Structure 1
Amino acid sequence: MTELSRNKQKKLSKTNVLKRGIAIFIGAVLMATGLEIFLVPNNVIDGGVTGISIMLSHISGLPLGLFIFILNLPFFYLGYKQIGKTFAISSVFGIIVLSIFTSLFYPIPAFTDDILLATIFGGIILGVGVGLVIRYGGALDGTEILAILINKKVPFSVGEIIMFFNLFILGAAGFVFTWDRAMYSILAYIIAFKTIDVVVLGLEQSKSAWIFSNKNKEIGDAILARLGRGVTYMNGEGAYSGDDTKVIFCVITRLEEAELKNIVDEIDTTAFLAIADIAEVRGGRNKKKDIH
């Protein structure tokens, strides 16, 4: 690799990191806005660890941001072990921003006292924020990471496991607040879920990746070592050039997408990478290998 190529690669890497950091920062601030300025003042909660944090904050009187940060840390440690450093750093950064801004927004009065408007707009703003963070390789709630790990042991999809958790969490809002607030919480969760779907352009957990590169063996070895994902090498032929080439195929999760892009960029900046959503994955050797 020439000095010019190395400098270009470093510049590209710094630009990507900056772009990811800004996107995650904005996403976390939007989530804090949806929570503290719309949902929480009206006793409406979100699902997952955030929902548990809202109820604990209401019962104890301690800041919401404190519970969000503490309760999420163990899950992001698991994310670091199972998904990778890029994901863990991005997620911890997002959680820190979220915790800080929920504390800063706490004295600000609710934007509206109309419970239905607060539920709808709070759910939309929260969904945009979470979707933005997910799109750039992070997460703001540990429930999804736990669901990914449980998914390896049980015959249920990640979405079904998350929904199962949230049924109990959102139902608990009826005991902490009132049952009508629990129903509004379910409505806010559904709105946020659908908004995330729009922002991320597909919430299915599995994605297929096709990589065309002259450094296919190096990229394949790095994917196996850093993501624990098996790869398949296929023989290909360029229609224009007529040259024989190797094509790398692998199946990843959407939380691993950012790390896969990093791997490809680090090894071959000229590589062609195509990633697509997969509706369902069955059989074969799709399960992730443990990385030690």
Structure 2
Amino acid sequence: MAKAHRKLSLLEILKRVVFITIGAILMGVGLELFLVNNSVIDGGITGIAIMVSHLTNLPLGLFILIFNLPFLFIGFKQIGKTFALSTLYGIIVMSVTTQLLHHVHPFTEEKLLAVLFGGILLGAGVGLAIRYGGSLDGTEIVAILVSKKMGMPVGQIIMLVNVFIFSAAGFVFGWDSAMYSMVTYYLATKVIDIVVEGIEESKSVTIISPSYEEISESIMTRLGRSTTYIQARGGYSREETQMVYCVVSRLEVAKLKSIVQEIDPRAFIAIEHVSDVAGGNFAKKDIH
């Protein structure tokens, strides 16, 4: 029998509503007060809405809502009610924000400043929405569903969609604006990563060495990080050994490599990005 989904508590729902609201307002501000009036667009459904709004002189918020509704309906059926409703709420707030700010004079008419600050606001807004269980654009829903059907990575699908959108922007706004839009989108994706994953980026490290016990002890005493032994067997030598596994912050990677190489200069070290760390005893211990 399938396990029932845990219901969100009132506090969790309130927290989700507050942060998705903030995220949607930030995105609306970024669009209307920085990007749209400078002929710079976002990617995804929002980018299409900006171009259609420009060509028809009708409100941007109207098209953002209308163009996203079909994908929200699909998301409701295929991905989940909570995600779809959170996304619908965020898109409504963003649409209303763009409408309220439509006649407000933009903060700057300098395109480079508009790209920088608009991209940061877009990334922060979308990042907050994603972090708290929603989205502000139906492109992610399309990408998730196409990925399930075709086996393509979600990121690759979004990239292909945006290549088409930014190419169309070149014909609508001119190629300078299209290139500025690409820079905005790139900046926004980097800010999204920071907001969703946190500034304190973590790395997982796997170390293979005959001196695994000494290395493990040094990491714990000198870095204050816990380590784990993983049973392994050499593919060539067929000898049983132990791998040392640990998670450190980005700033500690250099020191960890130095510790390992002091003990065994020939040690194998594999370092990978960790998008999130929760539970266990990741918190750093005091070193006396």
Is the shorter-chain TM-score for this pair beyond 0.5, marking a shared fold? yes
* Pairing of 1:71-220 with structure 2 (within 5 A): 71-201=67-197
Partner of 1:23: 19
Percentage of identical aligned residues: 61
> What does the per-residue CA deviation read over 1:78-136, in whole Å, with 9 as the maximum and x for residues that have no partner?
11111211111111110110110100010111101110010011000110000000000
Paired AA for residue 63 in structure 1: P
Could you list the structure 1 runs, at least 4 aligned residues long, displaced by more than 2 angstroms after superposition: none
1:94 and 1:27 mapped to 2: Cα distance? 8
Partner of 1:217: none
2:57 and 2:17 mapped to 1: Cα distance? 31
> What does the per-residue CA deviation read over 1:6-63, in whole Å, with 9 as the maximum and x for residues that have no partner?
xxx99x7111100100000000000000000000010000000000000000000000
Partner of 2:51: 55
Paired AA for residue 20 in structure 2: I
The alpha carbon displacement at 1:155 in A equals: 3.4
1:201 and 1:82 mapped to 2: Cα distance? 25
Alignment length (residue pairs): 196
Paired AA for residue 109 in structure 1: H
Mark the structure with the bigger radius of gyration.
Answer: 2
Q: Which has the higher contact order (CA 8 A, sep 6+)?
A: 1
Paired AA for residue 31 in structure 2: L
Partner of 2:213: none
Paired AA for residue 43 in structure 1: S
TM score, norm. by length of structure 1: 0.65
Across the aligned residues of Structure 1 and Structure 2, the Cα RMSD in angstroms comes to: 1.6
Partner of 1:269: none
TM score, norm. by length of structure 2: 0.66
2:9 and 2:53 mapped to 1: Cα distance? 39
1:182 and 1:277 mapped to 2: Cα distance? 31
